[in-house]
Amino acid sequence: MLGTKDDFDEWSGSEFDFYHFNRNTGKLSNHQNFKIDSTRSISVGCAFSPSNEILYICSGQVLYQYAIENGQLNARIEIARYDGYLSQLFANIYEPTYFGQLQIGPDGRIYCNPNFIQTRHLHVINRPDKLGMDCDFRQHVIPFISIKKTMPYFPHYRLGPIDGSICDSLRIDNIPWAHWRYDQDTSDYLKFEFTDLSAYEVEEWSWNFGDPKSISNTSNDKNPTHKFSEKGVYEVCLMVKNRNGMDTLCRTVNIGVMVNTEDNNEIPEIQIWPNPCEDYVIINVMDYNPQKIILKLYDLWGMPIELKSLFQGSNYVNLKNLPAGVYVAHVTESGKILSSKKIIKL
């Protein structure tokens, strides 16, 4: 299926056209036209979810979702409206972060570039295959140090051929390719959501969580949820199959275990940047899923300024309201200091 977007002048609003697309013949059929809204907009964006079962359309200040059923679009769902956030470009220059271009990433998320000419932020849909608010859309959650104008628009590199079709002249079979990501639950550190990112017409999924103490150590769901029995280091494997072959990807998931430095291993790597900073810092917790990591920020007199829970991946810490100066950041887990650094606030 192919969705196209069309901008009319800012007074008449925006519309989009929805077609069925035949990959073999290149022909469009079953044309459907939809009016998005009547608000002023200089750009719109569209993207399909990884499953191709949901279409996302944004027009300036509103993001919409359409479920696709039997080749037809269901009634639209309003996911979010622009929250009024302004992105600081230069010292005293701020611009709105309206909704613009949508682009699906290799991690299965959909990224939204604000439609203004320049920006320092991106919006993101974390779970685009979920209906309604479960899609987890977050505004201006990805900051940049430098100014960006737009995102590239990539084709679907891993689409693969249609086996046996007139266009499959090379007779290249769709051998499945396994890939996946995970997200740790922020309220239960042992609970994880796994998202399949595999390609090439996968028909079967087989997960092994490396957790024999659990009563649900395996799953055949495409995107399962698993609660590990205890903290530890687990080898999680996904095997994908179709009629042409199979592929397996195994990765280590470290949950709340700080390795022993006496064995020449390192405790979890903590990155804090930019430093010096102006309005915020990003704290990266690398390849480690914490039980309870805490950021404690102090001034030079030892007075506590900020207390914040951190999670695996990138954590945004807002320092905009703090006066310029030097601060000390302690990152701790179970009473152990993982990182202690001075942060210079300009």
Tell me the H-state helices in 32-93.
none
The backbone torsions φ and ψ at residue 255, rounded to the nearest 5 degrees and listed phi first, read: -115, 105
pTM of the model: 0.86
Whether residue 6 is found in the same domain as residue 121 = yes
Asked if residue 165 is part of any domain, the answer here is no
d(CA 260, CA 265): 6
Find out whether 341 and 299 touch, Cβ atoms under 8 Å. Answer: no
Whether residue 103 is found in the same domain as residue 224 = no
CATH of the domain at 313: 2.60.40.1930
pLDDT range class, residue 259, cuts 50, 70, 90: low
Residue 1 confidence (pLDDT): 41
pLDDT range class, residue 40, cuts 50, 70, 90: low
Residue 64 confidence (pLDDT): 95
For residue 128, cis peptide bond before it (omega within 30 degrees of 0): no
The tokens describing 337, both together, are 């200091």
Whether residue 277 is found in the same domain as residue 189 = no
**pLDDT digits over 325-341, tens only?**
999 999 998 888 889 99
The backbone torsions φ and ψ at residue 134, rounded to the nearest 5 degrees and listed phi first, read: -65, -15
pLDDT range class, residue 12, cuts 50, 70, 90: low
Whether residue 289 is found in the same domain as residue 247 = no
Which amino acid is present at 281? V
End-to-end distance of the chain based on CA atoms, in angstroms?
50
**pLDDT digits over 110-161, tens only?**
999 987 667 888 999 999 999 999 999 999 998 887 887 778 888 888 888 8
How many structural domains does the chain have? 3
Find the domain containing 325 and state its range. Answer: 266-345
Asked if residue 340 is part of any domain, the answer here is yes
Find out whether 135 and 128 touch, Cβ atoms under 8 Å. Answer: yes
Whether residue 36 is found in the same domain as residue 100 = yes
Asked if residue 158 is part of any domain, the answer here is no
Asked if residue 240 is part of any domain, the answer here is yes
**pLDDT digits over 18-37, tens only?**
999 998 889 999 998 888 87
User: Can you tell me which residue has the tokens 């359309």?
Assistant: 57
